[in-house]
């Protein structure tokens, strides 16, 4: 492709709101443009990378006999009501109505639609196991879309779903997908770790693993053992180390201590659940007329659904520091109860100033209360000390912590959805049984950002060959020099004939501009045709290092092939 015709709008400056280096570089190098928060256009270079990643994903999914399909993004609300997720999914779900006022959603994931499809189409064990997948745009109205493609509200996902007549068949497929995922991420050039994850959110039985690309910007924390193969996300590691603490709380009877929204303790309970700090979450809820405070330790966002299940609560609102700050009427979020409860439990926590307890809705919280004077807190249940998370649960080796970007997730769902949709098969004796399911996701567009996070330098991106938009960047120093032009043109044709993807910088620009753009764009191999063209010599350089070789065109072509 000739660069003078290609839409590569490179920029000197990154947009001011781009925090992540991958976001800055993908915008500056002309791969993507933001349309709205978390919504992006892929320009020609970005789209090429995305197609390459998709091709790798397709190849590896096909290799384990998964079948590609395409499900609709627009889905009737009824399907989501059947699964119970129409209400459970919360504000992340994009809802819309058609002209007849019928409710629809834009798919954040596709368990509902695929289970209902398979329920209709498959009746016999003979057709099982079956794995279907698609690469499709997903919609999630994320609370904090950020870091460019890392957390979009519209993004590209590969999602796969498998259907089985027994658990051992699910296990086989689960590990086949697990291995395919490792091949996919390796081929994309990612440094990643598969880690044990927590099954809480989707609520299945059995295992789940996340594939984490290591990067400081990652929003997840990975815990791994330096001694054995144990690796888990922090959430799972903490659950294994049981970080829940349950305490009995006796809230104040004095109404003056409640803000206007709260008339009774019931109001408080109804609106309460709590955050929030980097390390501790506090929740107050009511069980059998007893108010209970739960502390959850962790350097992560509390998993809403998981806690909801744990508490068996109907609704739960979680707050983080940001949203608490936004609540105008909360006069400082050094909440009296919040700060008090932890004092009784953990002295580390006592020093934290960023907790509150009460409702995280304006005017639904407590004010001016003090532990001991206005209320009491006793520990109940099987109180366990919050232990420092530093020993491996398998071998007691020491644990290491890394930040990670979740690029893939495999999950044994069990019968959660087949039960809701009545997806049954007839076994060899004619008995009807529920199908057992697995689901498997890859953040295809997120991979682009993850790869750039791991592969860049001060001058720009350094693409791995496998997903680079082009394999060779051919730079013609001066379009006005006859010999240079001739040699570059013939080289361009030769390389193309060899089946090599070439981006030919034939622009009428200064060499400095061309080199700067080439570094920014990050194509792994650069060939420069300059002054030495008259001797038939050109320059060969790799983006990832400083080695620069001057050689004949034949030698260079040989090297590239």
Is the CB of residue 336 less than 8 Å from the CB of residue 375?
Answer: no
Residue 64 CB, nearest distance to Mg ion (Å)? Answer: 20
Q: What are phi and psi of 97, to 5 degrees?
A: -120, 145
Residue 93 CB, nearest distance to Mg ion (Å)? Answer: 12
What residue number has its CB nearest to ligand ATP? 443
Is the CB of residue 9 less than 8 Å from the CB of residue 45?
Answer: no
Site for ligand ATP in 79-118 (CB under 6 A): 109
Phi-psi label, residue 77: left if phi above 0, alpha if psi -120 to 50, beta otherwise: alpha
Q: Where are the beta strands (DSSP E) in 415-497?
A: 424-426, 432-434, 436-443, 456-457, 460-461, 472-476
Q: Determine, following the binding rule CB under 5 A, whether residue 193 of this chain makes contact with Mg ion.
A: no
Whole-angstrom distance, CA of residue 61 vs CA of residue 131 = 9
Which of 110, 409, 420, 473 binds Mg ion (CB under 5 A)? It is 409
Q: Determine, following the binding rule CB under 5 A, whether residue 281 of this chain makes contact with Mg ion.
A: no
Q: Count interface residues toward ligand ATP (CB under 6 A).
A: 15
Residue 406 CB, nearest distance to Mg ion (Å)? Answer: 5
Whole-angstrom distance, CA of residue 319 vs CA of residue 278 = 12
- CA–centroid distance for 22 within its chain: 14
Q: Determine, following the binding rule CB under 6 A, whether residue 409 of this chain makes contact with ligand ATP.
A: yes
For residue 317, give every residue at least 6 positions away whose Cβ sits within 8 Å of its Cβ, in sequence order, or none: 271, 272, 273, 359, 360, 361
Stretch that binds ligand ATP, among 62-70, 225-233, 401-409, 456-464 (CB under 6 A): 401-409
**Which residue, 48 or 151, has its beta carbon nearer to ligand ATP?**
151
**Which residue, 144 or 287, has its beta carbon nearer to ligand ATP?**
144
Q: Determine, following the binding rule CB under 6 A, whether residue 408 of this chain makes contact with ligand ATP.
A: yes
Stretch that binds Mg ion, among 61-69, 161-169, 398-406, 506-514 (CB under 5 A): 398-406
**Which residue, 305 or 560, has its beta carbon nearer to Mg ion?**
305
Whole-angstrom distance, CA of residue 157 vs CA of residue 182 = 16
> Residue 70: exposed, middle, or buried by beta-carbon count in 10 A (0-12, 13-18, 19+)?
exposed
Site map (CB under 6 A) of ligand ATP, residues 445-464, x = contact = xx------------------
Residue 524 CB, nearest distance to Mg ion (Å)? Answer: 31
Residue 296 CB, nearest distance to Mg ion (Å)? Answer: 16
Tokens 């008995």 belong to which residue?
431
How many angstroms separate the Cα of 257 from the Cα of each of 22, 70, 123, 244?
48, 56, 61, 28
Tokens linked to 35? 């349309």
Whole-angstrom distance, CA of residue 484 vs CA of residue 528 = 10
Q: Determine, following the binding rule CB under 6 A, whether residue 208 of this chain makes contact with ligand ATP.
A: no
3-state SS assignment for residue 145: coil
Residue 83 CB, nearest distance to Mg ion (Å)? Answer: 17
Site for ligand ATP in 429-448 (CB under 6 A): 441, 443, 445-446
> Residue 46: exposed, middle, or buried by beta-carbon count in 10 A (0-12, 13-18, 19+)?
buried
Site map (CB under 6 A) of ligand ATP, residues 29-68, x = contact = ----------------------------------------
Which of 198, 277, 406, 519 binds ligand ATP (CB under 6 A)? It is 406
What residue number has its CB nearest to Mg ion? 409
Strand partners, 529: 476
Q: Determine, following the binding rule CB under 6 A, whether residue 140 of this chain makes contact with ligand ATP.
A: yes
Residue 157 CB, nearest distance to ligand ATP (Å)? Answer: 5
Tokens 């933001």 belong to which residue?
34
142 binds, among ligand ATP, Mg ion, none (CB under 5 to 8 A by kind): ligand ATP
**Which residue, 406 or 517, has its beta carbon nearer to ligand ATP?**
406
**Which residue, 150 or 451, has its beta carbon nearer to Mg ion?**
150
Q: What are the residues binding Mg ion (CB under 5 A)?
A: 406, 409
Q: What are the residues binding ligand ATP (CB under 6 A)?
A: 109, 140, 142, 151-152, 155, 157, 406-409, 441, 443, 445-446
């Amino acid at each position: 492709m000739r660069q003078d015709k290609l839409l590569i709008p490179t920029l000197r400056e990154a947009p001011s709101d781009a925090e992540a280096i991958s976001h800055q570089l993908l915008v500056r190098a002309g791969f993507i443009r933001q349309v709205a928060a978390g919504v992006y256009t892929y320009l020609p270079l970005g789209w090429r990378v995305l197609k390459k990643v998709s091709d790798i994903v397709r190849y590896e999914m096909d290799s384990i006999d998964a079948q590609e399909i395409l499900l609709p993004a627009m889905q009737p609300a009824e399907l989501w009501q059947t699964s119970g997720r129409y209400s459970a999914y919360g504000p992340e779900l994009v809802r819309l109505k058609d002209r007849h006022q019928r409710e629809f959603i834009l798919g954040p994931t596709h368990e509902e639609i695929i289970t209902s499809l398979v329920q209709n189409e498959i009746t016999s064990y003979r057709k099982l196991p079956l794995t279907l997948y698609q690469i499709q745009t997903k919609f999630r109205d994320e609370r904090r879309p950020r870091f460019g493609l890392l957390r979009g509200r519209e993004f590209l996902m590969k999602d796969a779903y498998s259907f089985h007549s027994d658990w051992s068949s699910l296990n086989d497929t689960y590990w086949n997908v697990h291995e395919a995922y490792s091949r996919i991420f390796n081929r994309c050039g990612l440094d990643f770790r598969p880690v044990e994850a927590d099954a809480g959110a989707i609520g299945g039985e059995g295992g789940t693993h996340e594939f984490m690309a290591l990067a400081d910007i990652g929003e997840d924390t990975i815990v791994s053992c330096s001694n054995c193969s144990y690796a888990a996300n922090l959430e799972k590691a903490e659950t294994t180390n049981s970080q829940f603490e349950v305490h009995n709380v006796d809230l104040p009877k004095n109404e003056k201590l409640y803000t206007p929204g709260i008339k009774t303790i019931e109001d408080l309970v109804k609106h309460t659940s709590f955050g929030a700090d980097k390390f501790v979450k506090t929740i107050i809820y009511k069980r059998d007329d007893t108010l209970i405070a739960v502390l959850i330790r962790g350097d992560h966002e509390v998993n809403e659904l998981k806690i909801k299940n744990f508490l068996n609560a109907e609704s739960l609102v979680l707050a983080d520091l940001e949203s608490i700050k936004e609540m105008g009427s909360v006069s400082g979020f050094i909440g009296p109860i919040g700060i008090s409860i932890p004092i009784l439990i953990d002295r580390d926590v006592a020093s934290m100033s960023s907790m509150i307890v009460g409702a995280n809705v304006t005017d639904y919280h407590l004010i001016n209360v003090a532990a001991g004077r206005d209320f009491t807190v006793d520990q109940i249940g099987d109180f366990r000390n919050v232990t420092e998370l530093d020993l491996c649960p398998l071998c007691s080796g020491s644990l290491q912590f890394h930040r990670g970007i979740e690029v893939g997730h495999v999950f044994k769902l069990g019968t959660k959805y087949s039960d809701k949709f009545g997806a049954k098969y007839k076994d060899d004796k004619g008995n009807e049984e529920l199908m057992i399911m697995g689901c498997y996701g890859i953040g295809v567009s997120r991979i682009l950002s993850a790869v750039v996070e791991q592969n860049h330098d001060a001058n720009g991106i350094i693409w791995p060959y496998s997903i680079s938009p082009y394999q060779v960047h051919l730079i013609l120093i001066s379009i006005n020099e006859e010999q240079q032009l001739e040699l570059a043109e013939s080289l361009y044709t030769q390389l193309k004939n060899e089946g090599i993807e070439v981006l030919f910088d034939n622009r009428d620009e200064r060499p400095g501009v061309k080199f700067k753009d080439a570094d920014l764009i990050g194509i792994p191999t650069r060939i420069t045709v300059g002054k030495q063209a008259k001797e038939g010599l050109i320059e060969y350089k790799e983006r990832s290092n400083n080695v620069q070789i001057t050689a004949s065109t034949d030698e260079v072509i040989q090297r590239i092939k």
